[in-house]
A and B are shown apart, each in its own frame.
Chain A
Amino acid sequence: MTQHGFFFDQSRCTGCQTCSVACKNYYALPPGPLKYLRIYQYEKGSFPDVRLHTQWIPCYHCEKPVCADACPSEAIYKEPAYGAVLINREKCDGCRLCYDACPYGAPVFESDELGVRARKCTLCIDRLLVGEKPICVIACPLRALDFGPLDDLAKVYGKERDLEDLPDSQATSPCIVFKARREKRRLVPYDSEKALGLFMKRDPLPTIFTSLSDVTEISEGLVGRNNLRIKHRSAKDLLRCTRNDEG
Chain B
Amino acid sequence: MSRDVPQDRQGNDVVRYTSCGFHCFDQCVLKVRVRDGRVVSVEPDDTIHPGTAREGEHGPDELSSTSMVQYRPCPKGYAMAHALDDPRRVIYPMKRVGNRGEGKFERISWDEALDTIAAKLVEVKEQYGPHSILHQPYSYMGWCSFPLSRWFGAGVAAWGAHSANGFQEPQNWVYGRDIADGMISLGHYAFTQDETNIFNAKLIVLWGFNPVSLMSSRVSHNLLQAKERGIPIICIEPRYTPSVEVLADQWIPIRPTTDVAMMIAMANVWFKEDLCDKDFVEEWVEPEGLEKWKAYVLGTEDGVDKTPQWAETLCGVPAETIEGFARLYAKSKPVNLNVSLSMGRQFFGENPARASMYLQALTGNTFIPGGTAAVETGLWWGRLGGSLPRVDWQQQRRTYRAPVLMAMYKWPKAVDLREKLDRGEISEEEFNSSIGNKAENPAPNIQLVILESNDHVNNLPNMNQTIRAMKKVAFTLVFAQYADAPAARYADILLPQIYSAYEGRNGGCGLHWPLFTTTLNLGSHFVYRQKCVDPPGEVKPNDWVWTQIAKRLGLVEMYNPRMAHTADEDWDETVEALYKEAYEQWAGRKDIAPLDPPGWETFQKRPVFRFPMEGEPYYPLKHHVEAGENPFEGTTSGKIEFYSKALAKGPEYLKHNEVPPGTGRCYGGGNLPPMAQMTRGGRDTFFSEDTKKYPLLMSSPHSYYRVHSWLDNNIWLRTDCYRHAVWMNVADAKSRGVKDNDRVRVYSDIGEMVGPAYVTSRIVPGTVVIHHGGWYVPKKEKTELMPDGIDNRGAPNLFTHGEELPDTVVGTFPCKGLVQVEKLGDGE
Contact = CB atoms under 8 A, between A and B. Distances in A.
Identify the interface centre among B46, B317, B691, B734: most chain A CB within 10 Å of its CB. B734
Given A126-B7, A195-B316, A224-B759, A188 B44 contact: no
Nearest to B688: A205
A214 B54 contact: no
B75 A239 contact: no
B53 interface: yes
Nearest to A205: B691
B545 interface: no
A137 to B, nearest CB: 5
B521 to A, nearest CB: 13
Interface in A134-151: 135, 137-143, 145-147
A205 B687 contact: yes
B41 A28 contact: yes
Contacts of A240: 723
A25 B42 contact: yes
Contact of B245 (A17, A52, A199): A52
Contact of B328 (A28, A122, A187, A215): A187
A143 B715 contact: no
Interface stretch (B97-105, B550-558, B652-660, B764-772): B764-772
Given A18-B73, A135-B43, A198 B221 contact: no
Nearest to B321: A190
B240 A52 contact: yes
B724 interface: yes
Given A18-B73, A245-B725, A184 B249 contact: yes
A247 B727 CA distance: 11
A188 B221 contact: no
B730 A131 contact: no
A185 interface: yes
Contacts of A226: 761
Given A17-B75, A245-B725, A198 B313 contact: yes
Nearest to A47: B761
B263 to A, nearest CB: 15
B interface residue count range (under 10 / 10 to 19 / 20 to 34 / 35 or more): 35 or more
Interface in B751-767: 758-766
A122 B6 CA distance: 12
B692 A206 contact: yes
B250 interface: yes
B216 interface: yes
Interface stretch (B143-151, B152-160, B484-492, B699-707): B699-707
Contacts of B246: 11-14, 142
Contacts of B57: 143
B406 interface: no
B725 A25 contact: no
A215 B729 contact: yes
Given A14-B242, A26-B43, A122-B4, A247 B313 contact: no
A1 interface: no
Interface in B206-255: 212-213, 216-217, 220-221, 224, 232, 234, 240-246, 248-253, 255
B217 A138 contact: no
Contacts of A222: 730, 733-734, 739-740, 759
Contacts of A29: 2
A161 interface: no
B250 A243 contact: no
Contacts of B715: 31
Contacts of B321: 188-191, 195
B55 interface: yes
B769 to A, nearest CB: 9
B61 interface: yes
Contacts of B126: none
Contact of A247 (B73, B240, B721, B740): B721
A80 interface: no
Given A138-B44, A202-B687, A205-B691, A146 B765 contact: no
Contact of A17 (B6, B249, B721, B765): B721
Contact of B6 (A27, A31, A225): A27
B12 interface: no
Contacts of B250: 184-188, 190
Contacts of B741: 224
A218 B120 CA distance: 60
A155 to B, nearest CB: 10
B72 A140 contact: yes
A190 B232 CA distance: 16
Interface string A191-210: 10011001111110110110
Contacts of B9: 130
B594 interface: no
A142 B320 CA distance: 34
Given A46-B761, A189-B324, A247-B703, A137 B53 contact: yes
Interface string B690-725: 011001000000011110000000011111111111
B318 A195 contact: yes
A70 to B, nearest CB: 21
Contacts of A216: 730
A187 B243 contact: no
B722 A244 contact: yes
A16 B242 contact: yes
B499 interface: no
Contacts of A157: 58
Contacts of A17: 75, 721
B54 A30 contact: no
A55 to B, nearest CB: 13
A67 to B, nearest CB: 17
A24 interface: yes
Nearest to A201: B313
Interface string B184-225: 000000000000000000000000000011001100110010
Contacts of A185: 232, 249-250
Output the residue of A24, A205, A224, A239 with the most chain B CB within 10 A: A224
Contacts of A101: none
A187 B762 contact: no
A195 B740 CA distance: 25
A246 B722 contact: yes
Interface in A61-111: 89
Given A143-B53, A143-B61, A223-B761, A198 B316 contact: yes
Contacts of B81: 25
Contact of A28 (B6, B703, B761): B6
B1 A28 contact: yes
A159 interface: no
Given A48-B253, A189-B320, A215-B730, A132 B212 contact: no
B765 A208 contact: yes
A138 B53 contact: yes
A221 B315 CA distance: 30
A34 interface: yes
Contacts of A28: 1-3, 6, 40-41
The 6 residue pairs across chains A and B that have the minimum distance between CB atoms = A224-B740, A247-B722, A188-B324, A209-B731, A247-B705, A185-B249
Given A22-B75, A202-B686, A245-B727, 13 more contacts: A15-B242, A18-B216, A27-B3, A45-B761, A122-B4, A139-B43, A141-B216, A181-B245, A194-B320, A223-B761, A224-B760, A239-B720, A243-B719
5 contacts: A18-B216, A22-B78, A35-B720, A142-B246, A185-B250
Interface of B: 1-7, 9, 40-44, 46, 51-55, 57-58, 61, 72-75, 78-79, 81-82, 212-213, 216-217, 220-221, 224, 232, 234, 240-246, 248-253, 255, 312-313, 315-318, 320-321, 324-325, 328, 686-687, 689, 691-692, 695, 703-706, 715-725, 727, 729-735, 739-741, 758-766, 771
